Structure 1
Amino acid sequence: MYIVGIDIGKNHHEASIVSPEGKQIGPSLRFATTHKGADSLMSFIFKNIGNSPCVFGMEATGHYWYPIYSFLKAKGYTIYVINPIQSDSLRKMYIRQTKNDSIDSFLIAEVIRFGQFGTTSMGILEKYLTPENIENAPIDELFEITKDKSHNRLTKAKAISIKEAAADTFGIKIAQDAFSFQLKQLIDRMNFLDKQIEALDCQILEYYEKFDCYLHTIPGIGMIAAATILAEIGDINRFKSSSALVAFAGIDPTVRQSGEFSSTHNHMSKRGSPYLRHAIFLAATTRSFHNSPLNAYYKKKRDQGKHHLTATGAVARL
Structure 2
Amino acid sequence: MEKYAGIDIAKRTHWMCVTDGEGRFLMEPRPYGNDADGLSRMVADLDLCGGDVAVGMESTGCYWRSCYKVLAEGGYPVSVINPVVTCAERKSGNLGRAKTDRVDCLVVADALRKQGIAPTPSPDADAAQLRDLCRFRRAVSESMSRAKIQAVALLDQVWPEYGKLFSDKFGDSSRAVLRRFALDEMDADGLADDLRGASRNRFGAAKASDVLESLRSTCGVPATDALRLQLRLLLDQLDFCAAQLAEIDAEADSLLDAVAPTLPTVPGVGRATAAQIAAEVGDATRFRDAKALVAYAGLDPTRRQSGGFDPDRNRISKRGSAHLRRSLYIAAQASLRADCEFRDFYDRLRARGYSHRYAVCAVARKMLCVCWALMRSGEEYSRDRHRARGKAPEGASPVDAG
Name the TM-score, length of structure 1 as normaliser: 0.52
Give the Cα–Cα distance (whole angstroms) in 2 for the partners of residues 165 and 261 of structure 1. 57
Give the Cα–Cα distance (whole angstroms) in 2 for the partners of residues 223 and 196 of structure 1. 17
Shift of 1:230: 0.1
From 115, 121, 130, the counterpart of 2:170: 115
Give the Cα–Cα distance (whole angstroms) in 2 for the partners of residues 120 and 313 of structure 1. 40
* Contact 1:288–1:295 (CA under 8 A) maintained in structure 2: yes
Query: 2:205 matched to 1:156?
Result: yes
1:249 corresponding residue in structure 2: 297
Give the Cα–Cα distance (whole angstroms) in 2 for the partners of residues 287 and 313 of structure 1. 12
Shift of 1:253: 2.3
* Contact 2:269–2:335 (CA under 8 A) maintained in structure 1: no
* Contact 1:248–1:271 (CA under 8 A) maintained in structure 2: yes
1:297 corresponding residue in structure 2: 345
2:259 corresponding residue in structure 1: 211
Cα 1:195–1:246 shift into 2, 3 Å: same
Give the Cα–Cα distance (whole angstroms) in 1 for the partners of residues 275 and 303 of structure 2. 31
2:52 corresponding residue in structure 1: none
2:362 corresponding residue in structure 1: 314
Shift of 1:309: 2.6
Give the Cα–Cα distance (whole angstroms) in 1 for the partners of residues 327 and 316 of structure 2. 15
Shift of 1:142: 4.0
Shift of 1:122: 4.7
Gaps of 5+ in 1: 1-81, 96-105
Shift of 1:190: 4.3
Cα 1:252–1:88 shift into 2, 3 Å: farther
**Partner SS state of residue 257, structure 1:** coil
Query: 2:330 matched to 1:275?
Result: no
2:38 corresponding residue in structure 1: none
Shift of 1:164: 8.7
2:64 corresponding residue in structure 1: none
**Partner SS state of residue 295, structure 2:** helix
Give the Cα–Cα distance (whole angstroms) in 1 for the partners of residues 322 and 360 of structure 2. 17
Name the TM-score, length of structure 2 as normaliser: 0.42
**Partner SS state of residue 114, structure 1:** coil
From 191, 195, 209, the counterpart of 1:146: 195
Q: Percent identity?
A: 30
* Contact 2:297–2:324 (CA under 8 A) maintained in structure 1: yes
User: Between Structure 1 and Structure 2, whose CA radius of gyration is higher?
Assistant: 2
Shift of 1:121: 2.4
Query: 2:240 matched to 1:192?
Result: yes
- Structure 1 residues 139-181: Cα deviation after superposition (integer angstroms, max 9, x where no partner): 2x5422112224444330343566799999x998xxx9x9999
**Partner SS state of residue 271, structure 1:** coil
- How many aligned residue pairs are there? 214
Aligned ranges 1:94-133 → 2 under 5 Å: 113-116=168-171, 118-124=174-180, 129-131=183-185
The residue type paired with residue 224 of structure 1 is A
The residue type paired with residue 180 of structure 2 is I
* Contact 2:294–2:365 (CA under 8 A) maintained in structure 1: yes
Cα 1:258–1:188 shift into 2, 3 Å: closer
- Structure 1 residues 75-116: Cα deviation after superposition (integer angstroms, max 9, x where no partner): xxxxxxx78x93996499479xxxxxxxxxx99878955334
Query: 2:314 matched to 1:266?
Result: yes
Root mean square deviation, CA, Å: 4.6
Give the Cα–Cα distance (whole angstroms) in 2 for the partners of residues 171 and 94 of structure 1. 9
